[in-house]
Amino acid sequence: MAILVTGGAGYIGSHMVHGLLAGGEQVVVLDNLTTGFEWAVAQGAKLVVGDIADQALVGKLIAEHHVEAIIHFAGSIVVPESVSDPLGYYKNNTVNSRALIECAVKGGVKHFIFSSTAAVYGNPEKVPVGEDDPILPVSPYGSSKLMTEIMLRDAAFAHGLSYGILRYFNVAGADPQGRTGQSTKGATHLIKVAVETALGRRARMDVFGTNYPTPDGTCLRDYIHVTDLTQAHADLLAYLRKGGASVTANCGYGRGFSVLEVIQTVKKVSGVDFKVEMSERRPGDPAQIIASSDRIRALSGWKPQYDDLSVIVGHALAWERKLMAKRN
């Protein structure tokens, strides 16, 4: 029996594969390598280069490897890109996920864990935001993920699939053992950008907006270490395997840091005082988004190990140095 990890050559997926192998699981990775890397797939997992929309391929993999569970990471993840290319996002994140869910149902897969996002909440009225708070995505990215949540719930109800939907907050950091990390070129995420700037890969960076209704005027986010996030998937799978009811749960730590606090931490941990400019707001940014993560903790016993911004930044820096050496 195997676990099929879609997007297992990507940032979060590659961490998941390490975690699953360490737990003694048999792992098959399906990744089209659009943004993932072959080298990011841990030894011991079988990599199949292909698309989740290729139902003949997915059906064959499920049957051949007796796939018991699917952990579905593959998708597009850049919010501003989704605004300029909504149909691309609805295809990759919604239409293709529908094809995958159908294969799961037809192939008799028992459990399905789906990477969703805090972006389904849009601009929350209050923080921390709970799973039953209003859902109002403000980007095609958030909508594309929300539609998949709905399809998964309905299909699971009709066909007896058990599912876990995890709504990720701001995922950051890298494998503490330095085996994988965020490797996408042209990344836009705050910690990645700040770390690249500290290491001289960018001449300067911008703070997008300094007049938000927050303590220092910059946006607050709930940054969660990628290894804690993937551990939440492993804990959720264990819960589902024990017969736990299907669930939708937030995945964050429940506390926020401002953009300026993050930049200050990157400066402190790296020892580099890099150039930062105060700029205009970036369209579509909510002032603050922080998770209430009580549900996942109570259900699965998830206990984060890396809830420390300096540690998250330290791991991101260590990985960026490795990546620079790899690329030189």
Active site residues: 141
Query: Per rule CB under 6 A, is residue 276 in the interface with ligand UFG?
Result: no
Query: Per rule CB under 6 A, is residue 129 in the interface with ligand UFG?
Result: no
Among 46, 65, 208, 214, binds ligand UFG (CB under 6 A): 208
Query: Per rule CB under 6 A, is residue 77 in the interface with ligand UFG?
Result: yes
Distance between CA atoms of 21 and 72, rounded to whole angstroms? 17
Helix axes 11-22, 226-241, angle to 10 degrees: 50
> Measured from the CB atom, is 204 or 327 closer to ligand UFG?
204
Query: Per rule CB under 6 A, is residue 18 in the interface with ligand UFG?
Result: no
Could you give the string, one character per residue 55-74, with x where binding to ligand UFG holds by CB under 6 A and - elsewhere?
--------------------
> Measured from the CB atom, is 111 or 145 closer to ligand UFG?
145
- Whether the CA torsion 125, 131, 133, 135 is positive or negative: it is positive
Among 189, 225, 233, 315, binds ligand UFG (CB under 6 A): 189
> Measured from the CB atom, is 89 or 169 closer to ligand UFG?
169
Q: Residue 113: which residues within 8 A CB-CB, separation 6 or more?
A: 69, 70, 71, 72, 163, 164, 165, 166, 233, 236, 237, 240
The neighbour count for residue 183, using CB atoms within 10 Å, is 23
Distance between CA atoms of 52 and 178, rounded to whole angstroms? 28
Query: Per rule CB under 6 A, is residue 282 in the interface with ligand UFG?
Result: yes
> Measured from the CB atom, is 77 or 309 closer to ligand UFG?
77
Query: Per rule CB under 6 A, is residue 206 in the interface with ligand UFG?
Result: yes
Beta bridge partner(s), residue 207: 278
Least Å distance, CB 288 to ligand UFG, is 9
Query: Per rule CB under 6 A, is residue 285 in the interface with ligand UFG?
Result: yes
**Whose CB is nearest to ligand UFG?**
219
Least Å distance, CB 129 to ligand UFG, is 10
> Measured from the CB atom, is 45 or 191 closer to ligand UFG?
191
- CA 248-253-255 angle, to 5 degrees, is 125
Can you tell me whether residue 215 is helix, strand or coil? coil
Least Å distance, CB 102 to ligand UFG, is 25
Among 15, 18, 72, 221, binds ligand UFG (CB under 6 A): 221
Beta bridge partner(s), residue 250: 167
- Whether the CA torsion 196, 197, 202, 208 is positive or negative: it is positive
Helix or strand run (H / E) with residue 277: strand 275-279
Look up residue 281 and give its DSSP letter: P
Query: Per rule CB under 6 A, is residue 166 in the interface with ligand UFG?
Result: no
Least Å distance, CB 139 to ligand UFG, is 8
Could you give the string, one character per residue 241-270, with x where binding to ligand UFG holds by CB under 6 A and - elsewhere?
------------------x-----------
Beta bridge partner(s), residue 171: 224
> Measured from the CB atom, is 15 or 221 closer to ligand UFG?
221
| HEC string for 47-95 | EEECCCCCHHHHHHHHHHCCEEEEEECCCCCCHHHHHHCHHHHHHHHHH
Look up residue 282 and give its DSSP letter: P
Binding site for ligand UFG (CB under 6 A): 77, 79, 117-119, 169-170, 188-190, 193, 205-208, 219, 221, 259, 282, 285, 289
